[in-house]
Every structure is written in C-alpha cells, then in structure tokens.
C-alpha cells in the first residue's frame, strides 16, 4: 500500500529535519524493511464531500547520540577470596546483583537481581531496544556511585563500601573459576591434569600434571 521508494524518501526527510535541529537526535531504524515487518502501524480515514483520504501512521522511534552505543549484558558470578594472612576464613561479595547492562559511553545502565527483571521481548530474550519513557524499566545513571559501577571501575574501596562483602569463617571451598579464555582461578586445588588435542597452530598436551601448594592460584593455561 505504501511504496518502498516513498517510505525511503520520507525517512530521509525526517533524518535531515532531525539533523537540522542540532539536538543530536536520530531515527533508531533507517531501513525500510523494519517498517514493513516490525513497526507499529496506525491508520485514519478522512472523509470530505465523498472524498476519502487514508492516513498511514508509522511509529518511528528516535534516539540520541549519547544513547546510541549498545549496552553489553554482563552476568555476575561472585567467587570466594582467601584471607590475606592464611587465617581460616574467606570473603565473598554480598551484593544480590546478577545482571548488569552497561557501556561506558552511555550515561544510563540497567541492573537486575533476576534475569526476568531485565527488559525482555515476548519470547523471553533480551530486548533489542529500550524505551526510556517506559516506567516499568528502571534506568540507573552513571552520575550516582553504585556497586555496579564500582565493579567496572575496579575500585576495591568502592566495591567494599557499595557492594559489601561477607566474611565466612570456614575453609576456602574447592572451586574453579574462569577469569579469561586462558586464565583460571583455582581455590583449594592441589593438582591439575591438562590434556589437549592438536589443532591448527596449537600443539597437543598429553596428560600433563601440575601441582599447586597455595590455596588460591591464578593459573595461566598453556
């Protein structure tokens, strides 16, 4: 009903108008496919002396340059840290945060204690776009110090103050945590047996045993 070339010209005109305002606003979607396949569409009919005019209304959301960078969704996995003086206790973060959607270039971010509290699409997957006017979505601002920001800023003092931590008077539990693709945090692991099949530009490892004497070790995978 609405030719693609007419829609494309209309979107280009809107883009130019937004640019002339100098407000830093822009269309979220500039491809015509979105408006044919996913956009909300409304219509109205105007009648005058037997003449009917059909008005087609497309919902065309806009955003600002300051909000344009996509937020990365991080899942928080707290792990225990041993006492600094070999005493029989360990500490673990006390925060209930489980998910953080954050990008350092954006002035807002989202935190959630449960995945279902994240902005989701009807199929329970993370939504692609967030309407900041939706009162059901709670946006946090980087202008206010928080536990989530402290974790990204690597400030130990802020993490202690804003996240809090629990002291567990017990032996450090045995566990393995992947810090990076080739780095592991080993808690109370006395030995490790490594094996790896040969791949392109990667030499094989056959039953290599590694012994650890410390209760907590950051191990670099070969």
Residue 146, pLDDT score: 93
Based on the fold, state whether residues 159 and 76 are members of the same structural domain.
yes
Q: What total number of domains does the chain contain?
A: 3
Based on the fold, state whether residues 58 and 79 are members of the same structural domain.
no
- Look at the alpha carbons of 153, 155, 158, 162 in this order and tell me if their dihedral is positive or negative: positive
Domain of 17 in residue numbering reads as 4-65
Q: What is the pTM of this model?
A: 0.68
Question: What separation in angstroms does the CA of 204 have from each of 49, 68, 118, 183?
Answer: 84, 44, 42, 18
| Tokens at 209, concatenated | 């045993």
The residue from 14, 43, 65 where one domain ends is: 65
Q: What tens-digit pLDDT sequence spans the chain (222 residues)?
A: 678 888 888 889 888 888 888 878 888 888 888 888 888 888 888 888 888 888 888 888 888 877 778 888 999 988 888 887 777 888 899 999 999 999 998 888 999 998 888 877 666 677 677 777 777 788 899 999 999 999 998 888 899 899 999 999 988 889 998 888 889 999 989 988 888 888 888 888 888 888 988 888 899 888
């Amino acid at each position: 009903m609405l030719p693609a070339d007419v829609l494309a010209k209309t979107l280009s005109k809107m883009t130019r108008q937004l640019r002339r305002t100098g407000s830093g606003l822009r269309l979220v979607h500039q491809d015509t496919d979105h408006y044919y396949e996913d956009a909300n569409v409304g219509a109205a009919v105007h009648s005058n002396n037997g003449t009917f005019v059909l008005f087609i209304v497309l919902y065309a959301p806009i955003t600002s340059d300051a909000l344009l960078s996509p937020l990365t969704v991080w899942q928080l996995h707290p792990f225990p840290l041993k006492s600094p003086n070999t005493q029989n206790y360990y500490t673990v973060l006390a925060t209930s945060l489980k998910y953080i959607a954050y990008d350092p270039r954006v002035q807002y971010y989202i935190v959630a204690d449960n995945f279902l509290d994240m902005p989701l699409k009807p199929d329970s997957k993370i939504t692609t776009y967030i309407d900041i006017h939706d009162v059901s979505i709670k946006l946090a601002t980087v202008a206010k110090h928080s536990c989530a920001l402290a974790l990204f800023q690597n400030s130990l003092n802020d993490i202690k103050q804003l996240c809090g931590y629990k002291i567990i008077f017990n032996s450090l539990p045995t566990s393995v945590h992947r810090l990076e693709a080739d780095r592991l945090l080993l808690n109370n692991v006395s030995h490790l047996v490594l094996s790896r099949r040969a791949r392109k530009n990667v030499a094989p490892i056959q039953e290599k045993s590694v012994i650890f004497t410390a209760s907590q070790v950051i191990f670099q995978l070969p």
